[in-house]
Structure 1
Amino acid sequence: MTVMNTIALGNQTQKFETKEIQAAKSAFLLHDETDRIRLLSVMPIHEATAVLNACPLALVRTLLDALSEAGETVRSRHLATGLGLISSEVEPDGNYLTNSVFTHVRQRIGWIVGLALLGIVSGMIISHYEDAIAQLVLLAIYLPVVAAAGGNAGSQAATLVVRALAMNEIRPKQWLAVMWKEMRIAAIIALALACVVMARVVLFSDAAILPAGISVYDVAMAIGLALAIQVTLSTTLGGLLPLIARKMKLDPAVLVSPVLASVVDISGMTIYFITINAWLGLM
């Protein structure tokens, strides 16, 4: 009971070791449900999470529901987030199937409509660079390649970071470490993709009509450079967006994918045309 008394008083400041967690769990389970709820309401969050993580899932869900009914909704959701039962403290109660259609709509529609309107910017960018496309039609062929590569790389990074957040492998305060890691990963992926696309341009675009003074190798280098920059930025952003969402108490599962898609689309076209024009001197 010494360990349990320490938990109840909230005096322990360091994380439990495995044996201590098991001992705390055993002592915790000796209490009735009323006392368990009382203990969960006063224990430090990281200690309560450690104890609940060692308990059966069905019991954990029952205790969290009871804690919420006792007026400790915020603490209940905080614990659920720490246990990976929900990905954000703002995620709706219940699960995917039990939540109503309108609950899902309310959660998603604002972001979708807002970002759809933001998509108008993409059309404005293409319109601004009509002259460049007119001079070199080959640019239009590889624009979707650059946009798709950036989106795929960014989504991959975002998915992995969301999973790491849900499993408590990383915290928002570790954003600098995540950014540094994703930048290194992105650099290698970007180099590989750029080489593949450059080879594709050189091998299959030799019959394209090019402006005077510009060779297919120049075009390949410009597209490869734009692709490398886009993939590097998209991957890094994909790794950081879930951390930003969690820090802002937003649900990464709802926010990250549509925001990333819109940002990557707009930034991809901007990077593509600016890089091409600077490298080839089209404008």
Structure 2
Amino acid sequence: MMHGAQHARKDCIYRATQSSLLVIFFSIAISITEGYAQDIVDGFTRGSGNTDIALSLMSESYNQFWVGQEEMDLPPPLGTISTTSMNLFIAHGITNEVDIVASLPYISSSADGDGSGPPDQSDYQDGTLMVKWRPWHQTIGESASFDLTTAVGIHGPLTDYVVNAPVAIGHGSTNVELRAIGLFRLESGPFASVSLGYSRRDGIVPDAAISGFRLGYTTDKIYAEGWLFNQNSQGGTTIGEGIPFQSNGVDYMRAGVKGAYSITDWLGISVGGWTTLDGKNVGKATGFGGGIIVQMDELHRTIIGN
């Protein structure tokens, strides 16, 4: 086995950018609310004492959605539903094997229908705080390795936003999040990861089982990956008259790509895009985003000249 700050530092800028720019998920009732708690956790660790801060801006829209598993157009009062989000992401390495990660999103959601639709919604949405632990790192030969990472955390509303509306920015539940990630990578750059998780949600919001797959390539300057993400609700209702939006069982399969480039030792930029392949009680959305990331320890070294 191998543990060390050098191993952790090599991946730092790609990891934090990757986490902050993973896709923002949504449903017909809860817009972007699903994404952050699921995806701020990846299979990489930052190394003891290292801190990364990222700021991302994302936008997505849809004019079709699934009622149950039946696909249809949004009604004229809604037209196209668009959601824009700004997210602050912070990650800190407590040890070489333990990270703490957090996110703070601000969401705006609107419908451009015939004017008789619901009012726009804008507010701070759901904050997320998670602890990651890498219990196992195994070298494979001289050029490959496998990491097993687990995570636990909480995800919940920061404000008293509207929840029972087509353009609501969240479902208002407090969730306990569990994750397990297996990461295989080669020293030459290619990597693949598989993640499994469960989201325990309070109130009338159904729990969800989640899974994901990533295939990518990283060097000292660039990071690129394609990903596939799936959520399966554990029960719940179907969109219909008189049924609260937050009780609907939301399923989806989404796919996307993203990339990052390290401009300096302490500053990086990233871009990404995604689409919804299939779903239940969810909008058929397509989105894109971009962001910047600052490695605080590298910035400090640059300023003081060490």
Q: Same fold judged by TM-score > 0.5?
A: no
Q: Which one has the bigger strand percentage?
A: 2
> Computing the radius of gyration over CA atoms, which structure comes out larger, 1 or 2?
1
TM-score, scaled to structure 2 = 0.24
Q: Which one has the bigger helix percentage?
A: 1
